[in-house]
Amino acid sequence: MLSKDLKLVFTCNLVGSFGDGLYAYLLPVYMSNTLGADSVQIGILYAVLSLFAALTLLISGTLADRYDRKKIMIAGWLAWLPVPLIFSSASNWIGMVPGMIMWGFWLGGPAGTAYIVTAADPSMLTLTFTTMSAAWSIGYIFSPALGGFLAGSIGMKPVFYTAFILYSLACLTLSFIKSQRAKNIQTRTENDYSFKELLKTRKLLIMTIFFAVLMFVLTMFRPFIPKFVADVYRFGDFEVGVLGSVSFASSAVLGLLLGRLGDRSGKSYALALSAILSSVSTVLLLLSGSFAILAVSFVLIGGSYLTWSLMSAIAGPMAPESCRARWVAVPQTVSMFVSFIAPYLGGLLYAFSPQYPFMVAAAAMPVMALLAVRLFRD
């Protein structure tokens, strides 16, 4: 199914995500317990991460349309290399700021999307994207537990050093893929697109608004799922961690299933089903505190982690080749900005009642599913 180059990209994602997962879930605890950061300071650090992620996506798109996409993808991992080392040497929460800035350099996002669209078999494009997403999910299934075990046994510094090694291996893996540049098709519509002109493109504008709303809904409720299970149903860290692993494992399996559905029946139907699964999962979450029911809920919520890859599968082929990276950078950037804002609304709703964010999502996601089929069916 995957070409040699895409198999290397898959391996890079798998190795890199395993390194990322070693400390990503533990980081808020590390900030609080080791560096003495309070909840406001932790929120500031993650706001910095989101802000720089949103800003660098447009930069990545521009660079990837002008230069070798392989080099931009490698540059994305090179930017991440110092991150765990900075975190390991921080003596207070201020010392984490440079690391959070570098962690927010998502240079590989639009460049990777454009690379995959061009390198993949067009008849299997959706499956290719969801397979790449599955690589990240697989990496996250076991790495948080291993990171927690290592941190409890020998401390966080070895965890950060191990993540650095895995980041380095991920970066090295990409050095073996073929170079790829945007084709220089000498027409105005293909070669002279500026971001201003791109934003005037009706189908790109509609797609950007749709995905921004969809990501807003997802990021409004999803960060509060572990807290809801702990606060309302009184489950401990271990049970919550197990449910999280269930969710990532499910995401890997659902990625393959939805990918095949998208290639056979249409990408819009795969996206719509992902939205429906998210809605059903929130309903189950609200209905019962039974661990078995919650496990089913977390299996279904795994489909929500595929939204970004399905968005790329829809947006990428629509774009002219010469401006493909900039094209996909527009909805990715706007979606990232709303992902920065949405948790605040979710937090306000949660403060009124823990059920409110999930009730809103349960009602909104079926509407988004219908819109997905209507807007992207062709």
For residue 307, give the nearest of 290, 287, 289, 332 by alpha carbon. 332
Q: CB of 57 within 8 A of CB of 333?
A: yes
Mean pLDDT calculated for residue range 42-51: 79
User: Quick check: 180 pLDDT over 70?
Assistant: yes
57-99 pLDDT per residue, tens: 778 877 877 888 889 899 989 999 999 999 999 989 999 999 9
Classify each residue of 146-180 as buried b or exposed e, where b means 16 or more C-beta atoms within 10 Å of its C-beta.
ebbebbeeeebeebbebbbebbbbbbebbeebeeb
The predicted structure's pLDDT at residue 33: 79
User: Quick check: 192 pLDDT over 60?
Assistant: no
Q: What is the mean pLDDT of the chain?
A: 83
User: Quick check: 281 pLDDT over 90?
Assistant: yes
256-271 pLDDT per residue, tens: 888 888 888 888 888 8
User: Quick check: 190 pLDDT over 50?
Assistant: no
Mean pLDDT calculated for residue range 351-371: 91
18-43 pLDDT per residue, tens: 998 888 877 877 887 788 887 678 77
Q: CB of 77 within 8 A of CB of 167?
A: yes
User: Quick check: 172 pLDDT over 90?
Assistant: yes
The predicted structure's pLDDT at residue 241: 67
For residue 138, give the nearest of 259, 251, 271, 215 by alpha carbon. 251
User: Quick check: 185 pLDDT over 50?
Assistant: no
Neighbouring C-alpha atoms within 13 Å toward the C-beta of 4: 5
| Domains of the chain listed by start with CATH number | 1-178 (1.20.1250.20), 193-378 (1.20.1250.20)
* Reported pTM: 0.73
User: Quick check: 284 pLDDT over 90?
Assistant: yes
The predicted structure's pLDDT at residue 39: 62
Amino acid at 195: F
Mean pLDDT calculated for residue range 345-355: 84
Joined together, the tokens standing for residue 275 give 């939205």
